[in-house]
């Protein structure tokens, strides 16, 4: 859970006096607005009538739905919280992940939308929030699903994935990653989508694991084309059986056609010159 810094505590005090809510209630709302990327909030606090939702631009829902005065006060507080967060941001995401389970169910999924605040001076930095290697900087997008976290760095062509206590960094090569999906049944494999379609995460080269560079050589294996069927060589012309009167059944035209075919087989290296000469002599002897 986010904790207010000294400047954040001062803002909470000021907003508490301005709107007539306790510091605890204001702190709760500041965190809710932060989690909503400064443009929305889902909250639950007794001073706000229980559970409710706020979206910048006019949408406000309270548990005490008929309390117009409370609705106005909470909406005004949310607007001031969003302004304070915006004025104290120190980092910003520029993209988003779409992360989903392929087997449905109630698996926990989150995503960080473009324009969300990644760091803010009103809050103490959470070491679990920026879990990726610091040299990668701020991600283009991040998200999490089923205890697996993702952070994509488009400019550096890197993808960080946290599984349990392990942090893997992958080379994204030419992929422009737009989303992730984790198969919950079967082998639990992870895939991502890019301009090349759906790709398995296991096909990306591993750059490092837990800060230790991967020194194993990466083989870029080109797809092997399917073998093309090889036409079987034409069979050698067979000798025509002699008729009962001792004369060849094939006429001279047929013999010359066979010799021409033998020449084609020789030219294609299906038979040797010696085989061609022997067969030609045999055929010519029948004329």
Question: Is the pLDDT score of 213 beyond 60?
Answer: yes
- Based on the domain organization, do 248 and 204 belong to the same domain? no
- Based on the domain organization, do 98 and 141 belong to the same domain? yes
Which of 280, 284, 281 has the alpha carbon at shortest distance from 262?
280
Residue 286 lies in a domain: yes
What is the tens place of the pLDDT at every residue in 127-162?
A: 666 778 888 887 888 777 767 888 888 889 999 998
pLDDT of residue 265: 82
- Based on the domain organization, do 188 and 277 belong to the same domain? no
Which of 173, 221, 217 has the alpha carbon at shortest distance from 199?
173
pLDDT of residue 40: 92
pLDDT of residue 283: 81
pLDDT of residue 75: 95
Rounded (10°) angle between helices 23-35 and 68-87: 60
- Based on the domain organization, do 14 and 108 belong to the same domain? no
Question: Is the pLDDT score of 114 beyond 50?
Answer: no
Residue 11 lies in a domain: yes
Q: Which residues, 6 or more positions from 260, have their beta carbon under 8 angstroms from its beta carbon? A: none
Higher pLDDT, 22 or 141: 22
Question: Is the pLDDT score of 109 beyond 80?
Answer: no
Which of 242, 285, 281 has the alpha carbon at shortest distance from 262?
281
pLDDT of residue 27: 94
Residue 230 lies in a domain: no
Structural domains counted in the chain: 3
- Based on the domain organization, do 207 and 110 belong to the same domain? yes
Which residue, of 182, 213, 244, is where some domain finishes?
A: 213
Q: What percent of the chain has pLDDT over 70?
A: 72
- Based on the domain organization, do 177 and 96 belong to the same domain? yes
pLDDT of residue 164: 79
What is the tens place of the pLDDT at every residue in 59-84?
A: 899 988 899 999 999 999 999 999 99
Residue 155 lies in a domain: yes
- Based on the domain organization, do 60 and 143 belong to the same domain? no
Question: Is the pLDDT score of 253 beyond 90?
Answer: no
Residue 219 lies in a domain: no
- Based on the domain organization, do 17 and 130 belong to the same domain? no
pLDDT of residue 82: 93
- Based on the domain organization, do 96 and 83 belong to the same domain? no
Average pLDDT over residues 47-69: 91
Average pLDDT score, the chain = 77
| pTM (two decimals) | 0.44
Q: Work out the pLDDT band at 53, boundaries 50, 70, 90.
A: very high
- Based on the domain organization, do 76 and 127 belong to the same domain? no
- Based on the domain organization, do 115 and 207 belong to the same domain? yes
Residue 102 lies in a domain: yes
Question: Is the pLDDT score of 241 beyond 70?
Answer: no
Q: Work out the pLDDT band at 1, boundaries 50, 70, 90.
A: low
pLDDT of residue 14: 96
Residue 44 lies in a domain: yes
Residue 48 lies in a domain: yes
Given a contact cutoff of 8 angstroms between Cβ atoms, the answer to whether 42 and 53 are in contact is yes
DSSP assignment of 215-274 equals -SPPP-PPPPPPPPPPPPPPPPPPPPPBPTTS-BSS-HHHHHHHHHHHHHHHHTTSS-HH
Q: Which domain holds residue 266?
A: 236-287
pLDDT of residue 73: 95
- Based on the domain organization, do 286 and 256 belong to the same domain? yes
């Amino acid at each position: 859970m986010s904790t207010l810094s000294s400047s954040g505590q001062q803002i909470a005090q000021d907003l508490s006096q301005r709107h007539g809510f306790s510091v605890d209630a204001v702190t709760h709302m500041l965190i809710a607005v932060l989690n909503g990327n400064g443009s929305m909030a889902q909250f639950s606090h007794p001073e706000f009538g229980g559970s409710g939702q706020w979206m910048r631009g006019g949408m406000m829902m309270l548990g005490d739905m008929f309390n117009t005065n409370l609705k106005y006060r909470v909406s005004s507080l949310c607007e001031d919280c969003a302004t304070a967060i915006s004025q104290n941001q120190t980092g910003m995401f520029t993209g988003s992940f779409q992360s989903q389970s392929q087997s449905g169910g109630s698996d926990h999924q989150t995503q960080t939308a473009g324009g969300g605040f990644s760091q803010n001076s009103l809050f103490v930095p959470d070491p679990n929030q920026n879990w990726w290697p610091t040299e990668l900087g701020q991600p283009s997008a991040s998200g999490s699903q089923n205890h697996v976290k993702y952070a994509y760095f488009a400019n550096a062509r890197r993808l960080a994935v946290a599984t349990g206590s392990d942090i893997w960094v992958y080379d994204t090569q030419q992929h422009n990653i737009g989303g992730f999906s984790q198969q919950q049944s079967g082998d639990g494999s992870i895939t991502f989508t890019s301009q090349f379609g759906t790709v398995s995460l296991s096909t990306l080269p591993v750059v490092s694991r837990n800060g230790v560079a991967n020194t194993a050589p990466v083989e870029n294996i080109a797809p092997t084309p399917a073998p093309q069927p090889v036409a079987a060589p034409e069979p050698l012309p067979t000798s025509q059986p002699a008729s009962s009167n001792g004369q060849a059944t094939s006429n001279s035209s047929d013999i010359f056609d066979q010799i021409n075919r033998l020449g084609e087989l020789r030219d294609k290296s299906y038979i040797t010159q010696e085989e061609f000469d022997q067969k030609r002599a045999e055929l010519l002897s029948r004329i």
